[in-house]
Structures are given as structure tokens and as C-alpha cells.
Structure 1
Amino acid sequence: MPDVARLSRDRLRALPPEAGAVVMGLGVVALDSRHLGLPAVWWSLLVTAALAWLVLMSAFVQRFVTDRSRLTAEAARPAALTVAASTGVLGLGACAVGAGVLASGLLVVAVACWLVVLPRVLAVGWRPEAAPFVGGWFLLCVASQSVAALAAHLAVLTRAVWLLPLSAAAMLVGLALYWFVLSRFDLRQIRTGQGDHWVAGGALAISVVSIASLTEALRDLHVAEFFAVIGTAAALVLLTATVCWYLVLLVAECVTPRLRYDLRRWATVFPLGMTCAAGSATATVSGVTALSVGAQVLFWPALIVLCLTGWGALRRVWTSPR
């Protein structure tokens, strides 16, 4: 038993911040499956995502108690923002089942992580001598938009109008950070990236979801409904850009296949699933039913890549000596 306990502690200690992408990938594909009416897939993926999130938070608490210097160093890395983003995605799952209290708690955790980590990461990336950005830097946008989307959904669920300004502020910050990261993004990553380069498109996809969620909340709560027209138009424009990113990244994968498992491949699962979610969300607010059909088609590649990546992760865990 002591050996098992020591092994568990060692594995938690070795868990990198990038592991939050596992929760993000599982969570968004779970939400997609719920929208498509696949309850078995929905519940199995949601529960797995929740368990993975608990492991992630356990690693975070362990570092806070035993190794704060490492925690401080990791908090300046873009990957640390997966904690806020994964918490936000899990909170959307809680909203979907009507668990308002749980979703509220997750929103508090997501906002706290976002406010603490984002300035640290941005301070590093803002330096003139910073290297060209890889795909993980788009987590600056993703984390912001996950907070925005969760706040909007929770506002509708709890009829809390005061959450709408938080949603709008986080959404605007996310859009600004997207263009900042894009201006410094190394486009060679499209050909050489190991999976996280897909977040360039996934960040736009979750921006579409947050805009559509806020638009729907404004209509549902009868607050500033005239902004809903702007929101719908913005969602359609950004969805078009998201699909363009999807096609470019897909072609690049076909030209230069990267089939070896890498933890960063979970950052590919998330954009695939989020593009599907973006299509569904835009169809809801715009009434363009063809977008919903497109989202159904995009769900299956996301599920297949999730299964392949999950299989690769399980093999890595079982065959790794540490």
C-alpha cells in the first residue's frame, strides 16, 4: 500500500499543466453529444471529464502545499490557463443538467484562476524579446471565453442578470487577446505543431460559443435585446473564420501527418469539438438550421479523434515506467 500511495503522489507530481486539455476535450465533446441526443456518450464523457478535473485539481493542491515555487513558475506558462478553461467547460456541463449551485462554484474557481494566471502569462508574452507564439498561447483567449460562456449560461439558469456584464467583459477581453496572440503566432506551427496548433481555430470557435451564449442570454432575460442583432452577426462572421481555420489545419494534417501520441494532441480534440459546438450555438441564435446539420457532421471527427487520443493516453500511462 505505501508503494501504491507513493506511486500516486509521484504521478500527481509529474502531471503537467497541459493535462487540463484532457478535461477540455472530454467536456466539449460531451456537450456536443448531449446536443445530438446521445445520452450514453454524454454521461460517460461528462463523468470522465469530472474525474479528470478532480485529478487535475488534486495536482494543483499538492503543488500549493508542497512545492509553491514550482506552482509559481508554472503559473507563468500558457498551459496553466487550462485550469480556468477546463473548469469553465465543466461548468457548462453542470449548467446543462441544471446544477446551478455546482455551476456557480465552478464559475468562482474559473474566474479566480483566470484573474490570477492570465496577468502572469500575459506579462511574459508581452515582452519584446519573447519568442514567436505556439498554439498554446491562444489559451489566453480560450480561458477568457470559457468564463464568458459559463457566466452567460449561468445567468439564464439562475436568472442572475448581474452575470451578463461579467460575460460581456470576459468575451471582449478574449477577442482582444486572440488578435494579440495571432499577431505573434508562428505560422510554421501549422506544419510542425504537435497538436496545440489547432487551438488557433479552437479559440475562435469558443469565441463564437461565448458570443452566441451571451446573445441568447440577452434575449432570454430581456436585457439590451438590440445587442442581440450585433451578437448574431458577429457569431456568423467568426463562425465563417473558424471553418476556414478548420479547413487549413485539416489540409496541413493530411500533408504532414503527425500520428505519434503527444499530450498536446488533447489540444486538437478541444477545437474539433468546439467547432461543432460553435455551429450548434450559432444555429440556435440565428435560426439557420443548416448550421445545425453541419455541426452534426463535425461531431463524428471530434469523437473519433477523442477516442484515438484517449487510447494513446491509456497506452502511455500503462507502458510508462513512472
Structure 2
Amino acid sequence: MTSPPGRPSPGTSDAPAGSGARSRPTVAQVLEMLRGTSPGAGAVVMATGIISVGLGRLGHASLSGAALAVTALVWVVLAAAFALRLGWDRAGWQAVAASPPGLTAVAASCVLGTRLSLFGWQTVAEILLALSAAVCPWLLVSVLRHWKRRMPGVVFLVCVAAESLAVLAITLSLAEHSEWLASAALAACALGIVLYLAALPRFGFRQVTVGAGDQWISGGAIAIAALTTAKLSTSPVWTGGAHSALRTGAYVLLSLDLAWCAVLALAEIAYPRPHYDLRRWSTVFPLGMTAEATLFTSDATGTRWLHGLGAVLLWISVAAWLLAAAGAARASAARHPELLPSRR
């Protein structure tokens, strides 16, 4: 049968032969991609957000603002994916909530809230703190009930979640001169350290040589505890012996973090793992958090040589972010070719 003039034959495309043109993704395809978003993608928000904080501390306002915009955009996308999974796949949502990567929802929200607070948006930061504080206990209990032996680095996300609440709380406390937030931050910081000690014997130390990137959370968790302790030491709520103890704690935790990160870096050199994996964002976040903890401790204690070290670590974090972003772009293009621009 011959088709009417001007119309393509059934089953054929009106695109020129060999053009390689692709149709635009449909709403259904976009929704399906959102539903399939890995909960571990929250590490992208965490990594980008903490780098934004560090860049802002070094005075790179434009770069920091750009990183903040990316952080907020990815957070919104992940929040939409979270809502879709809750509405359409309740069983899948509960499974995510019971897994350690689910805790990145708390940590990512708190990192974004911390950056927004430093930017001056205290009300939005308070909302993010309230949401995170409401969800965190339930997620923690769900994760702790499913703990096993020889787990990968995500086992330390219980510590990261608690400490991220503490960082946001003390940041808001310093901005708004709130004593109760300072006390809440201290309690969350202590809980995070206890959870780290509980997670340590469940960590499979072989991950140091074979892990795909999330083994670095073992160092990032110490780094965020160091940052929290350093911030607490600057609060006027803690004076005398309490101030000295917090200051000493910040030094000890930062020293442990730097030493362990050196071990992890040497392991990366001895056992290279160059391929991209989503868990590589869990390498970028600890690097950025270590840089920020070093920079803040330098400012808080007047230890000037730490500032130079923190600046070097921050630019290493930026380089790691760029490598992870390039890997993510290649992986996304291979997985979703329909999103690539049409070739005419």
C-alpha cells in the first residue's frame, strides 16, 4: 500500500536517513528515571554543598554560589524522586529507608541547610533542620535494625547523619545566638561519636583496598565530627573547661581524620580503582569535609598553618568533584541515550 503524498510510510521516521535524530524524552520516561534514582545520589548534594562552603570560606564567592545552585537543584530532584517512590512504590521506599544510603537524605538536607544559613537564609535552614530532625530518628532505627558484619563504608552514615544535624544546629545557633540549639548540637555531636564507635567493628576493613569509593566515609565521619567540635568551641555557651575540652577534641578528631585519609589515599595508589561508580561521590564528600574541618579549625584556633593545608585539600576536592561529575555524565549518557541532543 502506498502512503498519501507528504506522509511517511507506516513504521518509518520522518527524520533524514542516517541522521541519528532522537525523540525527546516523554514525561513518563522522566518520571521513571526519577523513580529509579539511587538513594546514594544524596552524596552528590553532600559533596557539592560542602565544597560550596569551603569555596565561600576562601573568598571565591562566584564559584561558591555556582556550587550552591547545583546543590539546591540536585536536592530538589532527589526530593521529587523521594516523593515519587513514596507514592508509587511504598515497599521500595521502606527498603530504601532501612538501608544506610537512605540516611543521605538527612545529611544532604543538613549540608544544604548549613550552606544556606551561611548565605543568610536562616528561615529556610531552620525548615531543613526541622525536617531532618523529624526524619532522622526513624531512619536511624530502621538502619540499625539491619546492621551486619563486614559492611562497606556506608555503615558510617549513621554517624554522618547525626553529625550533620549537629553542624546545622550549631551553625544556626551561632547565627541566631540560640543557646538551646547549641545544647542540641552538642548532644547530636556526642551521639554521632557514639554511633561511629558502634559502626567501627562492623566495617569491613578490606574495603580500604577494594571499596568503590564509599570506604572514604570512614574518614568523612571523623571529619564532620571534627568540624562540629570546632564550631561548638566557638560558641559563647561553652566557656572555661568546656571550651578547652571542645578545642582539644577538635584537634584530636582532625588529627585522626587526616591520618586516616592519608591511609585511604595510599590505598588508592597501591590498589587503583579508576572506573566510575556512584559511590565515588562518597569519596568527594569526605575530602571536602576534611578540607572544611581543617579551614574552620584554623580560623577557630588561630593555627595558621592549617589554613594552607585546608586550601590545598579543598582544591583537591574540587578536582575530585570534576572527575566524578565527568564520570557521572558519561554513565548517564550511556544509560539514557534518549536524553542526548538530537544529531541533525
Which TM-score band applies after superposition, normalised by the shorter structure?
A: over 0.9
Give the aligned partner of residue 214 of structure 2: 196
Aligned residue pair count: 315
- What is the deviation of 1:70? 1.0
- Cα pair 2:224 2:293 within 8 Å, conserved: yes
Give the aligned partner of residue 315 of structure 1: 330
CA spacing shift, 1:97–1:225, aligned 2, 3 Å:
farther
Q: For residue 162 of structure 1, give the secondary structure of its aligned residue in structure 2.
A: helix
Q: What amino acid is aligned across from residue 316 of structure 1 in structure 2?
A: A
The reply to whether residue 61 of structure 1 matches residue 79 of structure 2 is: no
Q: What amino acid is aligned across from residue 313 of structure 1 in structure 2?
A: A
- Cα pair 1:81 1:113 within 8 Å, conserved: no
Give the aligned partner of residue 229 of structure 1: 244
Match 2:99 to one of 51, 73, 77: 77
Give the aligned partner of residue 149 of structure 2: 131
| Unmatched runs of 5 consecutive residues or more in structure 1 | none
Q: What amino acid is aligned across from residue 203 of structure 2 in structure 1?
A: F
Give the TM-score of the pair, scaled to structure 1: 0.95
- Cα pair 2:220 2:285 within 8 Å, conserved: yes
- What is the deviation of 1:7? 1.3
Q: What amino acid is aligned across from residue 94 of structure 1 in structure 2?
A: L
Deviations 1:85-119 (A, max 9, x none): 00010011111111110110110121122112011
Larger radius of gyration: 2
The reply to whether residue 22 of structure 1 matches residue 44 of structure 2 is: yes
Q: Within 1, Cα distance between the matches of 2:135 and 2:325?
A: 26
- Cα pair 1:132 1:184 within 8 Å, conserved: yes
The reply to whether residue 10 of structure 1 matches residue 32 of structure 2 is: yes
State the superposition RMSD in angstroms: 1.4
Which has more helix, going by share of residues?
1
Q: Within 1, Cα distance between the matches of 2:290 and 2:96?
A: 29
Give the aligned partner of residue 258 of structure 1: 273
Q: What amino acid is aligned across from residue 300 of structure 1 in structure 2?
A: W
Give the aligned partner of residue 294 of structure 1: 309
Match 1:46 to one of 55, 68, 76: 68
- What is the deviation of 1:265? 0.2
Match 2:180 to one of 135, 138, 162: 162
The reply to whether residue 93 of structure 1 matches residue 153 of structure 2 is: no
Q: For residue 336 of structure 2, give the secondary structure of its aligned residue in structure 1.
A: coil
Q: What amino acid is aligned across from residue 13 of structure 1 in structure 2?
A: R
Q: Within 2, Cα distance between the matches of 1:185 and 1:64?
A: 30
Q: Within 1, Cα distance between the matches of 2:266 and 2:135?
A: 35
Q: What amino acid is aligned across from residue 197 of structure 1 in structure 2?
A: Q
Give the TM-score of the pair, scaled to structure 2: 0.89
- The 5-angstrom pairing of residues 237-252 of structure 1 reads 237-252=252-267
| Unmatched runs of 5 consecutive residues or more in structure 2 | 1-22, 338-344
Q: For residue 234 of structure 2, give the secondary structure of its aligned residue in structure 1.
A: helix
Percent identical:
35
Q: What amino acid is aligned across from residue 196 of structure 1 in structure 2?
A: D
